[in-house]
């Protein structure tokens, strides 16, 4: 069983919402659509569900073109960001409604509703109306209704956004384990890269209606194909600078030799975009080839046991705003000058067209 999107394009009133989407979803897979608001995640889901007909391309399920199949006949289910339940029906009736419509035997309906309710921990609330429940329970009810009918495709459109932090973590965890034993295709849309990473599975990066990159979540995180993809996957975004390479010398404020840095020494002489992750900047020298940067502190944001240090760097041509993500709590006054170290071995290199040229060797080290 597989779902294939072929050259999907969607234009509404002259405005292009999706362009040239080619994706492949395998049965039993958990897929994440990662993109900012208005990236086209919801539109893509609506196309898959059959709520919207794409202006171009085909939706193919198990080798059969279902582009023109009505939503009622598609055997999909969907969970929205808002808690969507039928307010005049009890939780039990809500969960049972897709089964009743599928004309299942009453005993079977009872069994399945009980099972699903137990899975989502709402057995105690089955006789209540959805609006009498808390937000988390309402969303559990909506999820139960989506899961109960064993749909081939289950779509989650940012289902946890309206929940508080704690609930979000536990529900996300449950969701992941729920899908381990399922044969259906799950597609989950989110704006947060951290959530995409936590869910794992295949991640598809969407940007302005186009697919930037697809693949395992970790790979996208460490090996972004271009700068947009890198920005989507990293929060705060990568720190960037432009510099030229001449005869294995990197000129950025100071000249530094690349001869001892494995992934940079082969670079042809040219201008490049370089980038470094905020968590790779350090306050201490690593005694390896590195950029030594004089910075001015703008703001030190402290969150629990981490510090986000917003700094500016003047390279003589322009002022760059960077963020350093430091472990531990550091208090700096605004305007203080500070030396930060950027190890060359951790630099990302992008060419002038924003496409990735080489990545630092991070993924292998993690395995």
Residues of this chain that interact with another protein (CB under 8 A) are 49, 51, 71-72, 76-78, 80, 82, 84, 86-88, 97-98, 101-102, 142, 145, 149
The minimum distance between CB 72 and another protein, in angstroms, equals 5
Q: Please say whether the beta carbons of 341 and 281 come within 8 A.
A: yes
Q: Name the residue nearer to another protein (CB basis): 147 or 323.
A: 147
Question: What is the largest distance, in Å, between two alpha-carbon atoms of the chain?
Answer: 77
DSSP 262-289: TTTTTPPSEEEEEEE-GGG-BSS--SSS
The minimum distance between CB 245 and another protein, in angstroms, equals 52
Q: Which residues are within 8 A (CB) of 73 and not within 5 positions of it... i.e. 6 or more apart?
A: none
The minimum distance between CB 80 and another protein, in angstroms, equals 5
* DSSP H helices in 90-162: 91-101, 106-119, 135-148
Q: Name the residue nearer to another protein (CB basis): 81 or 191.
A: 81
The minimum distance between CB 177 and another protein, in angstroms, equals 24
Q: Name the residue nearer to another protein (CB basis): 77 or 220.
A: 77
The minimum distance between CB 180 and another protein, in angstroms, equals 24
Tell me, what DSSP letter sits at residue 226?
B
Q: Name the residue nearer to another protein (CB basis): 150 or 351.
A: 150
Q: Name the residue nearer to another protein (CB basis): 18 or 78.
A: 78
């Amino acid at each position: 069983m597989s779902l294939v999107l072929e050259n999907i394009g969607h234009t509404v009133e002259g405005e292009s919402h999706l362009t040239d989407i080619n994706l492949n979803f395998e049965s039993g897979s958990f897929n994440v659509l990662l993109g900012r608001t208005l990236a086209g995640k919801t539109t893509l889901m609506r196309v898959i569900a059959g709520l919207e007909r794409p202006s171009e391309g085909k939706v193919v399920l198990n080798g059969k073109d279902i582009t023109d199949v009505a939503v009622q006949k598609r055997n999909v289910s969907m969970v929205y960001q808002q808690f969507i339940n039928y307010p005049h029906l009890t939780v039990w009736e809500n969960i049972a409604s897709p089964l009743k419509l599928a004309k299942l035997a009453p005993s079977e309906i009872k069994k399945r509703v009980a099972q699903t309710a137990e899975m989502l921990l709402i057995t105690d609330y089955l006789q209540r109306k959805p609006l009498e429940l808390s937000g988390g329970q309402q969303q559990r009810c909506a999820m139960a209704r989506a899961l109960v009918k064993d749909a081939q495709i289950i779509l989650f459109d940012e289902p946890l956004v309206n929940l508080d932090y704690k609930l979000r973590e536990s529900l996300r965890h449950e969701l992941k384990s729920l899908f381990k034993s399922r044969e259906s295709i799950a597609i989950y849309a989110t704006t947060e890269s951290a959530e995409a990473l936590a869910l794992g599975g295949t991640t598809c990066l969407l940007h302005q209606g186009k697919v930037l990159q697809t693949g395992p979540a970790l790979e996208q995180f460490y090996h972004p194909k271009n700068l947009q993809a890198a920005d989507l996957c990293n929060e705060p975004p990568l720190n960037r600078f432009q510099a030229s390479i001449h005869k294995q010398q990197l000129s950025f404020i100071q000249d530094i030799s690349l001869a001892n840095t494995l992934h940079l020494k082969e670079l042809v002489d040219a201008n490049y975009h370089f980038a470094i992750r905020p968590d790779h900047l350090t306050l201490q020298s690593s005694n390896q080839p590195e950029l030594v940067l004089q910075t001015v502190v703008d703001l030190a944001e402290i969150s629990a046991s981490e510090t986000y240090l917003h700094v500016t760097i003047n390279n003589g041509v322009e002022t760059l705003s960077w963020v350093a993500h430091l472990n531990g709590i550091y208090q700096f006054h605004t305007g203080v000058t500070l030396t930060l170290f950027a190890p060359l071995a951790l630099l990302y290199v992008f060419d002038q067209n924003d496409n990735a040229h080489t990545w630092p060797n991070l993924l292998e080290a993690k395995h």
